[in-house]
Structure 1
Amino acid sequence: MSESIVVGVDGSECADHAIDWAADEAVRRNRPLHIVHAVDSSPYRAPLFAPPETIERLTRLSHRVLDEARERVRQRHPELQTTTLLVAEYAPKALMRESEKAYELVLGSRGHGGFSSMLLGSTSLRMAARTTVPLVIVRGDTDAQGEVVVGLDLTKEEETTLSYAFDAAALNEARLRVVHAWLMYPTYIEAGYAPDDEKVEAEIRKQVATVIAPWRAKYPHVEVVEEVLIEHPVAALTNASRSARLVVTGAHERSWTAPRLGSISHGAIHHAHCPVAVVPR
C-alpha cells in the first residue's frame, strides 16, 4: 500500500477544512487517507475528577467525531480508501507516530482547545517544529485556484522544499512563484555602509536562477516566476499567499536542545492566507 495522507481531526470547523483539503490531496496523489482523532483522557481517569460514565461519554463523542469525518470524506470522494483511528493519547505524540510512515500530515490551523483570537493552535505549532514528513496546515481559502508559492533561502539547503513545491505545482497544473526576500540591516546603514541595491539585487537574481535551473529542467511544463524582493521574508510570503493555493516553506532549524521552527516558517504558518506546507529539510 502506498504511503497515506494522515489528517488529524477534533470535530472543529478548522478540522473540517483540513479533512476537505486532505481528501482532495489524497485523490490528487492517488493515496489512501488515514483520519486520526487523539484524546488525552488522563485528566478524567481519577475518580476525584470524574465519575465512571464520563469516560464512556468521552469515547462515544470521540467515535462520533471520526464517524462524521469519514462521512464528510465519503460525500466528497465516495471511492477514496479511508481508514480511521481513535487513540487515548497526547495529540502531538499520537500524530507523530501515525505520520512516521505517511507521505504527508494535514492539520487545521486551530482546534477546539484554542481561543478564537489565536492564529495557530498548539498542536499545529508543535508538529511544525517536529514533523519528519511534509506538514500542511490548512488555513485561509482552501478552494483557491491560484499559484503555488515557495520561499527560497539561499543560505540553507532547500532541495526537499523545492522538490515538494515543484511537485505540487505540477500536480495542480499551477504556476510556481519562487520568492526570495531580503533586507539590509539598519545597523549596517547607520555604520555608513550604503550598498548598491541594484547591484545586490542583480547578484541575488543570478543566484536564484542558478538554484532553480535544474528544477526548471526537471519540470519543463511548470511555469516558474522568480521573484526577488527587498522586503521582510514573512511579509513577502504573506502577501504572495493572498492569491495562492499553497505556500511552501522549509520546516525547522537545528538546535542543540530541541527541534525549533525557523522564524520565517513560524511567521508564514501564523499569517498566510492559504494552506501552508512545512517541509523538513
Structure 2
Amino acid sequence: MSSLIIVGADGSTTATAAIQWAADDAARMGLPLRIVTAVQRWPNDIPKFPAPEWEDAVTESAQKVLAAAEETARSGQPAIEVTTALVEGPPALVLREQEKDATEIVVGTRGLGGFAGAVIGSVGIHVAGHVRCPVVVVRPGQTGVHGEITVGLDDSDACEPALAYAFEQARLRGSTLRALYAWQVPVHIYAPEIVYDMDEFRAAHHRVVTDRLAAWRERYPGVKVIEDVRRAHPVEALSDASDTCDLIVVGSHGRGALGSLFLGSVSRGVLHHARCSVAVVRS
C-alpha cells in the first residue's frame, strides 16, 4: 500500500491553496505528493449523440492545469517528490478512488464547478463523507501563522483518531495544540424538581478532557497542550477558535447510510463555518 498525500487540482484559486497546503504537509511528513485532475466526458455522450470534437481540447486544458499545479507545488517545496494523474470521471469519485494510496486527501473549499454562494463545495463534502483517511478542506486567504492547532473532543473513543492526527500535526509544525471540549446544559436541568450542582457539572467535564488527553501527553511530551472547556455548542466553539488557529481537526462518526451523512452534524457544521482549514478524521 502506497503512502501519498493526494490533492485535487482544477485550476481554481481554492485548488491552488490546497496544492500549496498539501505540498507543505508532504514536506513535513516526508511523503510524496500526487496531484490529481478529473476529466469528465461530455455529459450527453450517448451513441445517438456522440461527444463533440472539442473533447480533446478539454483533456489538453486539464493537462495544462496539472502542469501549473505541479509548478506551484515544486516552487513552494522543491525537495518533495511530485507526480500527477489525469483521471476520467466525476471529481468526487476520482478522489475517492485515490483513497487506497492515500495517507491524506486535500481539497479546496470550492472548485470551479461550485455554486457562487457555497462555502464548501460538493466535492469536499462528498470526499470527507466517504473516505476513511483524513481529509483536509483548505480555505484560501489565510494570512500569517498562528502557531496553534485546535482539535475537537467529546467523551467517546471515536475522537481518538482525530487526537492522533492533531498531535502529530502539532509535533510536525512545532505548534501548540488546543484541545477544545464544548458542553451544553441538558434541557431537563431546568425542570424545577431537579437540582444540579453546576460547579460539579463543570468539574466533571474538565475531568473528561484531562483523562482523555493523559495518554497523548505522555506520547507527545514535546507538544504544548491547552485544555479548553467551554459551555457552548461544539460548532460555535470550534468556529470561534478558528479565528486564531491554523487548522481545526474534527472527528466524524455520523451514522448516516447516505454518503455525506457519515460526516455527522458537528463536522459538517465546522466545515461550513470555520474560518481556517479543517481536517476531518473518520473514526
Indicate whether the TM-score tops 0.5: yes
Give SS of 1:129's match.
Answer: helix
Aligned residue number for residue 246 of structure 2 = 245
Deviation at 1:196, TM superposition (A): 2.7
RMSD of aligned residue pairs (Cα, Å): 2.0
Is the contact between residue 150 and residue 176 of structure 1 (CA under 8 Å) also seen in structure 2?
A: yes
Partner Cα separation in structure 2 for residue 191 and residue 93 of structure 1: 53
Deviations along 1:194-250, one digit per CA (max 9) or x if unpaired, are 533221110111121011011101111110011111001001001111110111000
Which of 254, 272, 275 pairs up with 1:273?
275
Is the contact between residue 100 and residue 132 of structure 1 (CA under 8 Å) also seen in structure 2?
A: no
Is the contact between residue 216 and residue 222 of structure 1 (CA under 8 Å) also seen in structure 2?
A: yes
Deviation at 1:193, TM superposition (A): 3.7
Give SS of 1:157's match.
Answer: helix
Give SS of 2:158's match.
Answer: coil
Aligned residue number for residue 216 of structure 2 = 215
Deviations along 1:151-174, one digit per CA (max 9) or x if unpaired, are 001134222111111111111001
Partner Cα separation in structure 1 for residue 47 and residue 250 of structure 2: 46
1:263 maps to amino acid: S
Aligned residue number for residue 263 of structure 2 = 261
User: Structure 1-normalised TM-score?
Assistant: 0.93
Aligned residue number for residue 66 of structure 2 = 66
Give SS of 2:19's match.
Answer: helix
Deviation at 1:187, TM superposition (A): 5.1
Give SS of 2:117's match.
Answer: coil
Q: Name the CA shift for 1:55/1:116 in 2 (closer, same or farther; >3 Å).
A: same
Unmatched 5+ stretches in structure 2: none
Is the contact between residue 63 and residue 86 of structure 1 (CA under 8 Å) also seen in structure 2?
A: yes
Of 71-80 and 232-241, the range deviating more from structure 2 = 71-80
Q: Name the CA shift for 1:108/1:159 in 2 (closer, same or farther; >3 Å).
A: same
Structure 2 residue 19 is matched with structure 1 residue 19: yes
Is the contact between residue 147 and residue 174 of structure 2 (CA under 8 Å) also seen in structure 1?
A: no
Partner Cα separation in structure 2 for residue 93 and residue 2 of structure 1: 19
Deviation at 1:251, TM superposition (A): 2.3
1:101 maps to amino acid: D
User: Structure 2-normalised TM-score?
Assistant: 0.93
Q: Name the CA shift for 1:143/1:104 in 2 (closer, same or farther; >3 Å).
A: farther
Aligned residue number for residue 126 of structure 2 = 126
2:161 maps to amino acid: T
Is the contact between residue 158 and residue 251 of structure 2 (CA under 8 Å) also seen in structure 1?
A: no
Deviations along 1:24-55, one digit per CA (max 9) or x if unpaired, are 00011111000001122141534876763221
Give SS of 1:37's match.
Answer: strand
Aligned residue number for residue 110 of structure 2 = 110
1:13 maps to amino acid: T
How many residues are paired up?
281
Deviation at 1:100, TM superposition (A): 1.9
Unmatched 5+ stretches in structure 1: none
Aligned residue number for residue 224 of structure 1 = 225
Of 247-256 and 219-228, the range deviating more from structure 2 = 247-256
Give SS of 2:35's match.
Answer: strand
Partner Cα separation in structure 1 for residue 117 and residue 193 of structure 2: 42
**Correspondence 1:19-168 to 2 at 5 A:** 19-43=19-43, 45-46=45-46, 52-140=52-140, 141=142, 143-168=144-169
Partner Cα separation in structure 2 for residue 136 and residue 108 of structure 1: 8
